[in-house]
Structure 1
Amino acid sequence: MPTYFDTIAMSFENVKIDDDGIDTIQFLQAADALSQMFSLFNSTAFSVVQNDINGNIRKLRERYEATGDKSRTIELLVQNELAEKKHNATQGLLWLNRGLRFTYTGLKHSYDHPDTELSTSFTTAYGATLSKFHNFITRGIFSVAMKACPYRAALLKSLGEPQDRVLTQLDEWLAGLDKLTQRIDKFYAEGNYGKGL
């Protein structure tokens, strides 16, 4: 029986990185697949995250479609957009990466602590990632949403069988996601691209 990871068009660990950076199309395909994963949770808990991720993917895709080869990597996309004194996709990538980092942190915590429920893992992840960027109202929305997380066992079952294969694939997927989000964070920090966004 195919697992979730067998069915997606692109997995984070397979996204190409060359001298110019992270392949834009492959990165967006992998982010799309992550958004689809939230649908497997059968929970409204992640709808706010899923909507945010989808909106930011759309900003990046629109920029790519408008500029083509000039935006073939994520890094080139940001640099050529800012050179035009625009920042819509640059801001979109910043927030997309924050959402991806939140997801990575929550799932990694769950992977490393199999006796801990998802609500705890994602509440911990929220405090470590997105919370500092949100106002009081948004933090309250997330606090309620994280309490509505499905059980860990239900999530793993929704990702497919056998479980040992799912866990191996999840570990590889998480490693790829970690590598990409850290690279984007470093790119923004070194270029000071996120200032004022």
Structure 2
Amino acid sequence: MAPYLRSIKSFADVNTEGGVDTLQFLEASKGLVGLFDVLGSAAFTVVQSDLTGNIAKVKARYDAAPEKSRTLESLVQNEQGEKKRTATEGLMWLLRGLSFTCKALQNAQANKSEELSVAFTKSYEGTLKKHHNFVVKGIFAVAMKACPYRADFFTKLRADQEGGEPVTQEELETDLNKWLAALSAIVQHMQDFYVEGNYDKGF
């Protein structure tokens, strides 16, 4: 068994030629959800639940119309005109949740002396906060404060999941930066796609 980031589908391995491959993207997104288990805070259950629910909405659409949903772009385009557009809305929220997580970890990478609670709080304020009501903002405020210490989190990410030799901090940094860069690029591309097509209208 390998360290966590080497045991999951990397966003760097998601095919984006001619569109973002739907199944590969969903598999990589599930890997990101599992990252919150590594964070080890029950306060993040609300984030995991939200991400998992939105992954399920997109997968349900894929299963219902696979030939029209091979890429995220085609999935969204082919759902337009329908009454509910459940997958379009689900993907929109999934992208927001992925953006929140990505920016939090990028903050942590850019500021090595900063604790995770600070990195996640900054990210929340710049991504999800504007979309949340008073109650949800309160839940997230609790979650931010419950972040583990930076050193503990990175030690867990370096660890071999079956007790073998951990990777070095340098190896982890390389893996994490590659993963985050690919995730960031996909999220930005899809959010631009939503804006250009006005696909978020009505939500």
Task: Check whether TM > 0.5.
Answer: yes
Over 2 Å off, 4+ runs: 83-86
1:95 maps to 2:101: no
Q: Which of 78, 101, 104 is 2:102 aligned to?
A: 104
1:139-150 correspondence to structure 2 within 5 Å: 139-150=137-148
CA RMSD, aligned part only? 1.1
> Please, which runs of 5 or more residues in structure 2 have no aligned partner?
159-166
Q: CA deviation at 1:158?
A: 1.1
1:14 and 1:79 map into 2 onto residues whose CA distance is 24
1:196 and 1:149 map into 2 onto residues whose CA distance is 34
- Residue 54 of structure 2 corresponds to 56
- Residue 5 of structure 1 corresponds to 5
1:127 and 1:183 map into 2 onto residues whose CA distance is 21
1:54-133 correspondence to structure 2 within 5 Å: 54-133=52-131
Give the number of equivalent residue pairs: 195
Q: CA deviation at 1:174?
A: 0.5
Q: CA deviation at 1:61?
A: 0.5
1:103 and 1:48 map into 2 onto residues whose CA distance is 13
- Residue 179 of structure 1 corresponds to 185
* SS of residue paired to 2:80: helix
Counterpart amino acid of residue 141 in structure 1: I
Choose 156-165 or 23-32, whichever is displaced more: 156-165
- Residue 168 of structure 1 corresponds to 174
1:4 and 1:61 map into 2 onto residues whose CA distance is 24
Q: Which of 13, 21, 24 is 1:23 aligned to?
A: 21
Counterpart amino acid of residue 110 in structure 1: A
* SS of residue paired to 1:84: coil
Q: Deviations over 1:69-104 (max 9, x none)?
A: 210000100111114343100000000000000001
Percent identity between the two aligned chains: 49
Q: CA deviation at 1:125?
A: 0.5
> Please, which runs of 5 or more residues in structure 1 have no aligned partner?
none
Q: CA deviation at 1:45?
A: 2.8
1:173 and 1:45 map into 2 onto residues whose CA distance is 24
1:144-159 correspondence to structure 2 within 5 Å: 144-159=142-157
Counterpart amino acid of residue 4 in structure 1: Y
Choose 112-121 or 82-91, whichever is displaced more: 82-91
1:119 and 1:90 map into 2 onto residues whose CA distance is 31
- Residue 46 of structure 1 corresponds to 44
TM-score by length of 2: 0.93
- Residue 164 of structure 2 corresponds to none
- Residue 163 of structure 2 corresponds to none
Counterpart amino acid of residue 183 in structure 1: H
Counterpart amino acid of residue 7 in structure 1: S
Choose 37-46 or 68-77, whichever is displaced more: 37-46
